[in-house]
Chains A and B, each alone.
Chain A
Amino acid sequence: MTWTLVLALSAIAYVFKVTGLVIVGGRQLPAVVNRCLGLIPAALVSALIVNSTLGGDDGMVFDARAIGVAAAILVAARRAPLVVVIVTGAAITALARAAGIAV
């Protein structure tokens, strides 16, 4: 990764962010667009959860992460604090790996 690539990778990301917040976000938008923008974090973040739980070099993989995140879902559903959800996810994943389950 050269300096040019580092800058190229970041430049477009900055353009996206500034366009979203400074240009689009500064305008008065129709109610339906506002409501849609309010729902974007739920849709995007859940996709990111799926991607970082099941994503692998060959597309989709089911490994110890899935077991750990499933445990984290159960804990989050019981309204556990954020730290407990995170620690549960990591600990169950580590235990599953140590036990050789879905490594």
Chain B
Amino acid sequence: MSEARTSARPEWGTLIGICLTFFAIGVTVNVLVYEHVGSAVKTIAAAGIVLSATSELAYIAVRDVGGSILAALIAGWVVASRFGLLAASLGTRIKVGHLQRSCAALNCLDPNVGVAMQQTTPSGVMSAFWWVTGALHLGWWCGTFAGVFLGNIIGDANRLGLDAVFPALLLAIIANLLRQRPGFVAAIIGGGLCAALLPIAPAGTPIILSLTGAVVALRVPESQVAKP
């Protein structure tokens, strides 16, 4: 992701990186979910139906500290609400029918929207979105099965630094956005607000409140571009 994308398909290196990252996330998250659920079928079903590692983790985190089922569900929903905002963000850039729009909506995740939004044409946005969606699904499903059926062999995945893979992927994806001043301001305020609220706010809330960064960044003229 070293240059702004102009072609429809992201580089193979990017797609492979996203695939491997989601493999790692699939392994680490589903080892954890399997431990809590105790059923391979339910773990795999949750991986496919919920299709949100962060929502599953938010649910587990609240239950782990003794929270009620409702509180855990709300935490999962709050975390998932960002997908609606990402979807709305993507929706303004594409020109497709209701069927494809609905299919895209169900697959809106952080990396595919992040990469797609850097394209310059509506067809490029949609094409990049589906390429990245395919790569992350491949990695996620392979990781899910590996986590469920080989979790005991893999052992502590964090020992391999796999818990740093997701933030590193997201960082690489938004690197180009950070080179434009409005994007940089939005990211600094969003990230800073999240860090400030993390110790005090309920799970998921800091992420949603980070939207303030996008609102504040509206005041930064688009013509100002940060030096690379």
Report if A99 contacts B (CB, 8 A): no
Q: Which residues of chain B in 192-207 are interfacial with respect to chain A, using CB atoms and an 8 Å cutoff?
A: 193-195, 198-200, 206-207
Residues of B within 8 A of A36 (CB): 214-215, 218
Contact between A26 and B2, CB atoms less than 8 A apart: no
Residues of A within 8 A of B14 (CB): 81-83
Encoded as 1 (CB less than 8 Å from any B CB) or 0, chain A from 19 to 40 comes to 1111011100100101111111
If over half of B's interface residues share one DSSP class (helix, strand or loop), that class is named, otherwise mixed; here it is helix
Encoded as 1 (CB less than 8 Å from any A CB) or 0, chain B from 72 to 114 comes to 0100110011111111111111100010011011101010011
Report if B174 contacts A (CB, 8 A): yes
Smallest CB–CB gap between A57 and chain B, Å?
Answer: 7
Smallest CB–CB gap between A32 and chain B, Å?
Answer: 7
Smallest CB–CB gap between B65 and chain A, Å?
Answer: 7
Taking a contact as CB atoms closer than 8 A, the residue among A6, A9, A41 that contacts B174 in the complex is: A41
Report if B172 contacts A (CB, 8 A): yes
| A residues contacting the other copy or chain, number (CB 8 A) | 73
Contact between A69 and B190, CB atoms less than 8 A apart: no
The winner among B59, B82, B94, B212 for most chain A CB atoms within 10 A is B82
Encoded as 1 (CB less than 8 Å from any A CB) or 0, chain B from 169 to 187 comes to 1111111011000111011
Contact between B106 and A14, CB atoms less than 8 A apart: yes
Report if B8 contacts A (CB, 8 A): no
Q: How far is the CA of A6 from the CA of B163 in the complex (A)?
A: 24
Contact between A90 and B207, CB atoms less than 8 A apart: no
Contact between A45 and B168, CB atoms less than 8 A apart: no
Contact between A41 and B164, CB atoms less than 8 A apart: no
- Asked whether A16 and B83 contact (CB < 8 A) given A6-B49, A39-B217, A48-B110, the answer is yes
Smallest CB–CB gap between B228 and chain A, Å?
Answer: 8
If over half of A's interface residues share one DSSP class (helix, strand or loop), that class is named, otherwise mixed; here it is helix
The winner among A6, A88, A94 for most chain B CB atoms within 10 A is A6
Residues of A within 8 A of B110 (CB): 41, 44-45, 48
Smallest CB–CB gap between A30 and chain B, Å?
Answer: 11
Residues of A within 8 A of B92 (CB): 25, 29, 34, 37-38
Q: How far is the CA of A57 from the CA of B58 in the complex (A)?
A: 10
Contact between B159 and A42, CB atoms less than 8 A apart: no
Q: How far is the CA of A19 from the CA of B88 in the complex (A)?
A: 8
Residues of B within 8 A of A69 (CB): 164, 167-168, 171
Contact between B64 and A57, CB atoms less than 8 A apart: yes
Residues of A within 8 A of B210 (CB): 43-44, 46-47
Report if B154 contacts A (CB, 8 A): no
Residues of B within 8 A of A20 (CB): 83-89, 91, 105, 108
Residues of A within 8 A of B77 (CB): 9, 12-13, 16
Smallest CB–CB gap between A77 and chain B, Å?
Answer: 8
- Asked whether A44 and B211 contact (CB < 8 A) given A10-B50, A13-B77, A82-B172, the answer is yes
